[in-house]
Amino acid sequence: DQQVKQNSPSLSVQEGRISILNCDYTNSMFDYFLWYKKYPAEGPTFLISISSIKDKNEDGRFTVFLNKSAKHLSLHIVPSQPGDSAVYFCAATLSGGYQKVTFGTGTKLQVIP
């Protein structure tokens, strides 16, 4: 049962342009969402998160949007840089701490110089 889905396995974007990575979830109990970035042979690195009480959270070049009614979130990277090339995982959990995190399958982003 794939509770968190990233339907695009890969994405290519020109440097300087916007990268938009999408994620859908099925479990309506999830109320806290995270994005992680992962390089090959390294652990996932936390990027940004959003609580279900918000619909947008911004941190520098990264913005996460949440549409609860559609059970959809997206990560926007503006402007995209070659160093952003990595696999991005969407993840969902229950707020309140001490909860497991459920990951999507990941989207491989390639930023072309």
- Interface residues with other proteins (CB under 8 A) are 32, 34, 36, 41-46, 49, 89, 93, 95-106
Shortest Cβ 45–other proteins spacing (Å): 7
Residue with Cβ nearer other proteins (71 or 108): 108
Shortest Cβ 93–other proteins spacing (Å): 6
Q: How many CB atoms lie within 10 A of CB 32?
A: 18
Q: Which residues contact 97 (CB under 8 A, 6 or more apart)?
A: none
User: Are the beta carbons of 77 and 61 closer than 8 angstroms?
Assistant: yes
Residue with Cβ nearer other proteins (49 or 110): 49
Q: Would you say how long the chain is, in residues?
A: 113
Residue with Cβ nearer other proteins (49 or 74): 49
Q: Whole-angstrom Cα distance, residue 93 to residue 50?
A: 11
Shortest Cβ 92–other proteins spacing (Å): 10
